[in-house]
Amino acid sequence: MRRSIVVLTLALLAGGCGTATPDASPTPASSATSASPSASTPSAGATSSRAAPQPRFADLTQGSTTSVVILHAYDSKNASAVVEPIIFMTGDAYCRTFKIKRTDARCVNHAYVTEESNTKVTVPIDAQAKFFTWEDAQGDVCIDAPEKGGTCPMTAKEFGGWVELNKNSMIAVATEDGVITRMAIVYTP
């Protein structure tokens, strides 16, 4: 019963995700909105154009998904994490996906672009969750794709120690049925 109430509450809180629109300034604005022409005032010779896609943030409280998040709190004893889903993409992919002009600084000057959802959710962690880092004991890098986080296994205790030293860091998570099953540290240069 308690889990149902928590999941319902989290689902209601997460309902507002994905409403922000990236603006054309070098720094993403969390409350940017786009203006679109009014349907009641057609202009002569106007062509139909589609609005740019809007960022959508993963709903980690239900279903199965993967996302990069900002890890605000990690509680291994109570098997839960407080996270904020974010968009984490290369500058080029971000500008292509959201149809931003190729001359925008985010497209050419940034290796990675993030867009915050400004929504924190508490998500349960599976007892058998797997933890990963991007650097092994010899200092070698182990990453397949930056947005998936590291691939070098680590223990839950090692992960907890890392979290203590790295507050509000980016973590790649995978969920199944609204429960975190994988947490991987994201390498940020």
Radius of gyration from C-alpha coordinates of the chain: 19
- Token code pair at residue 58: 């993963």
Mean pLDDT computed over 87-107: 86
- Of 111 and 42, the structure prediction assigns the larger pLDDT to 111
Query: From residue 73, how far is each of 9, 58, 81, 150, 164 by CA, in Å?
Result: 18, 18, 5, 19, 9
- Of 39 and 75, the structure prediction assigns the larger pLDDT to 75
Phi and psi angles of residue 102, each rounded to the nearest 5 degrees, phi first: -65, -15
Mean pLDDT computed over 158-183: 96
Query: From residue 78, how far is each of 9, 82, 89, 129, 133 by CA, in Å?
Result: 18, 12, 31, 13, 22
| Cα–Cα nearest to 86, from 99, 69, 100 | 69
Please, which pLDDT band fits residue 73 given cuts at 50, 70 and 90?
very high
- Of 71 and 33, the structure prediction assigns the larger pLDDT to 71
- Token code pair at residue 110: 């940034």
- Please give the biggest Cα pair distance in the chain: 66
Please, which pLDDT band fits residue 32 given cuts at 50, 70 and 90?
very low
Burial of 53 (0-12, 13-18, 19+ CB in 10 A): exposed
pLDDT digits (tens, 9 = 90+) for 55-68: 678 888 888 999 99
Contacts for 162 with CB less than 8 Å, ≥ 6 apart: 133, 154, 185
Phi and psi angles of residue 157, each rounded to the nearest 5 degrees, phi first: -65, -40
Query: From residue 14, how far is each of 9, 85, 94, 132, 133 by CA, in Å?
Result: 9, 10, 23, 26, 28
